[in-house]
Amino acid sequence: MVCQGLTQTAGTTPSPLRKRSVIQDLPINDRLVIPAAELQWRFSRSSGPGGQGVNTTDSKVELRFDLENSKVLGPFRKARLRDQLASRIEGNCLRIVAAEERSQWQNRQRALARLADVLREGLKPPPPRRRPTRPGRAAVKRRLEAKGRRSELKRRRQGRPSLDD
């Protein structure tokens, strides 16, 4: 299933006047780079700061990455990402929205950085399982002795009247 509702992709040729808007490939780690052609962009008007241009500029950025149809992710990586990012995946797509900055270019950079971070976290191997252990005999003995000392201290604090009073 392809991500729904997106028409503009990063694979289109950029305008020669705007060199800053060229979308590059997204490096995730040393062995994984997401090609720009697999990233889908959508732009819309953002709420928040913007001054006079707030109602005329499409500064909000929505970046989608289709996990299932990606050619750079193998079946093992796809399965791990599906498991780790299940709550963030809509359909088969991972969706990142950035609208904090006034400029579309800065929001694009933020969205790319967030996507890279999310994919890095999702691809991390799970932590090793904890081996259940029992406390040693000496530790149990120390704990019981400390309990006994505390108990004795509290027992001595109780104000029992003596026969002399």
- Structural domains present in the chain: 19-123 (3.30.160.20)
Closest by alpha carbon to 63, among 37, 113, 101, 97?
A: 97
Ramachandran quadrant class, 116 (left: phi over 0; alpha: psi -120 to 50; beta: rest): alpha
What local confidence, expressed as pLDDT, does residue 50 receive?
Answer: 61
Closest by alpha carbon to 33, among 116, 104, 105, 121?
A: 116
User: What pLDDT digit, counting tens, does each position of 62-113 carry?
Assistant: 999 988 888 898 899 989 988 888 888 888 888 989 888 888 888 899 999 9
- Give all strands (DSSP E) within the chain, no chain letters: 26-29, 32-34, 39-44, 60-66, 89-90, 93-98
Written as one letter, the residue type at 50 is: G
Contact (Cβ atoms closer than 8 angstroms) between residue 85 and residue 50: no
Percent share of the chain, pLDDT over 90: 25
Band of residue 139 on the pLDDT scale cut at 50, 70, 90: very high
Closest by alpha carbon to 69, among 35, 27, 110, 31?
A: 35
**Confidence check: pLDDT of 142 > 90:** yes
Query: Residue range 7-27: average pLDDT?
Result: 52
N-to-C CA span, the chain: 90
